[in-house]
Amino acid sequence: MTVVRDNLATPGVWYFTDAMSAAEAAETAGFIESLGYSTLWLPDTVGRDPFAHIAWLASQTTTLSFATGIANIFHRHPGPMKQVATTLGEQTNGRFMLGLGVSHGPLVAGLRGLDYSKPLTQMRDYLAAMDAQPFASHSPADPVPVVLAALGPKMLELAGSATDGAHPYWTTPEHTAQAREVMGPDALLCVEQKVCLSTDASAAREAAKAAIAMYADLPNYRNNWIRLGFTDDEIQQRADRFIDAVVIWGDEDRVRAGIQAHYDAGATHVCIQPLSTEGVAVLDRNALQVLAPNG
């Protein structure tokens, strides 16, 4: 078993570091490591290349594992994807996990001008192609774990049958229970959960609304929220019922209970994304300290 897989029982952190310099990002990774978190999840959007960034951060840490949350399959051929994942697995001594996803139509087709006609089929074909690609260099002692960004039942089924598991984003404990049911008892279920350590309902909800702003119109998230029972109007108006379900806010006990609800529903791992009432680009270090595994 890889180091990253062994450590998944301990919570992790999901965070954008694009607003930080490389040195600041390395210091932040070291801070997260010092608090006892197991894994730092990093996105693949229009900022830093996540693989080059993880190589840098891993060289500046000793025990912290890293995962892509997620690497966009449309941006890389299956061969180079296998190369970079295997290289990181070997060079980090097993501290890397590959999260793959189909991203979203507005980024893939809109910004990049790539075909996004059949994302589920494209993911299935991509995984088969990646598995068939050669790799002619040193490999890690154990294969790099692979998880899929999966929300709907068909992608969750593929995650459970063709990879090590799933990495749901912007979901709820109810979705975690559904995902566990679809994938079965053995698949990895690595859930991202946004938290806001504030008892000021207005400030916490505003922080949540700011975070939702860049995601609310993306069809994959909206469709999943609707499957979970929220209406288009609730999502569009950022209704309290919707906000309070997808972002855990409150004091330490309330936030910890919300995180535990995912574990109770079948999560293997929860990676928290701390939201700050001071702005979307501000890392709430106090929240990380209060909620730390070492705390």
Question: Tens of pLDDT along 237-275?
Answer: 999 999 999 999 999 999 999 999 999 999 999 999 999
**pLDDT at position 140, please?**
95
Question: Tens of pLDDT along 2-13?
Answer: 899 999 999 999
Q: Give the number of other CB atoms < 10 A from CB of residue 71.
A: 24
Q: How far apart are CA 138 and CA 86, in angstroms?
A: 9
Report, as an integer, the average pLDDT of 6-34: 97
**pLDDT at position 1, please?**
63
**pLDDT at position 242, please?**
98
Report, as an integer, the average pLDDT of 37-41: 98
Question: Tens of pLDDT along 186-206?
Answer: 999 999 999 999 999 999 999
CATH fold, domain 3-290, is TIM Barrel (3.20.20)
Report the mean per-residue pLDDT for the chain. 97
Q: Are 182 and 156 in contact (CB under 8 A)?
A: yes
**pLDDT at position 2, please?**
82
Runs of H (alpha helix) within 60-104? 78-91
Strand 71-72 and strand 146-148: the pairing is unpaired
**pLDDT at position 175, please?**
98
The percent helix, strand, coil of the chain (3-state, each to 5) is 50, 15, 40
The yes-or-no verdict on residue 295 having pLDDT over 80 is no
Q: What percent of the chain has pLDDT over 70?
A: 100
Report, as an integer, the average pLDDT of 65-84: 98
Report, as an integer, the average pLDDT of 46-73: 98
The yes-or-no verdict on residue 111 having pLDDT over 90 is no
* Distance in angstroms between the alpha carbons of the first and the last residue of the chain: 27
Identity of the residue numbered 141 = A
**pLDDT at position 79, please?**
98
Q: How far apart are CA 82 and CA 210, in angstroms?
A: 35
Integer CA distances (angstroms), 143 to 94, 138, 148, 188, in order: 9, 12, 16, 15
**pLDDT at position 268, please?**
98
Question: Tens of pLDDT along 163-183?
Answer: 999 999 999 999 999 999 999
The upper half-sphere exposure of residue 93, i.e. CA atoms within 13 Å in the direction of its Cβ, equals 6
Strands (E), 185-278: 188-196, 247-249, 269-274
Burial of 88 (0-12, 13-18, 19+ CB in 10 A): buried
Q: How far apart are CA 65 and CA 282, in angstroms?
A: 23
